[in-house]
Amino acid sequence: DAGVTQSPTHLIKTRGQQVTLRCSPKSGHDTVSWYQQALGQGPQFIFQYYEEEERQRGNFPDRFSGHQFPNYSSELNVNALLLGDSALYLCASSSGGPRNTIYFGEGSWLTVV
């Protein structure tokens, strides 16, 4: 049983470009959350998707958007990239409510130059 898988693992983009990151949740999980982790800091919650809807959102600008597909996989899109968007982007999946174990992917390292 594959856990949470993310792609790509590493990528480099130029300021102003757009990026799409992908996440496949653990089998049987219907909830996907995205996090941004800058170097040396704790993760920051971006948003959570459940039943193809954004259920909760952290303090991120509208440049950060997402989508969840009927098979529960998810995408994170970031438009008009800034240097400060350089970070590790983590995806986590879970099922049921907030009192269930969450499983993290290995993350996508984004560098904006």
Partner 1 sequence: KNEVEQSPQNLTAQEGEFITINCSYSVGISALHWLQQHPGGGIVSLFMLSSGKKKHGRLIATINIQEKHSSLHITASHPRDSAVYICAVVNFNKFYFGSGTKLNVKP
In angstroms, what is the minimal distance from the CB of 22 to partner 1? 16
- β-bridge pairing 19-24 and 108-112: unpaired
Tell me if 58 sits within 8 A of 43, measured CB to CB. no
100 interacts with partner 1 by CB under 8 A: yes
Residue closer to partner 1 by CB (options 54, 80) is: 54
Considering only 17, 101, 111, 113, the residue that binds partner 1 (CB under 8 A) is 101
- Looking at the DSSP bridge assignments, the partners of residue 20 are 77
Tell me if 89 sits within 8 A of 25, measured CB to CB. no
Contacting residues toward partner 1, per CB under 8 A: 33, 35, 37, 41-45, 48, 50, 55-58, 88, 90, 92, 97-104, 106-107, 109
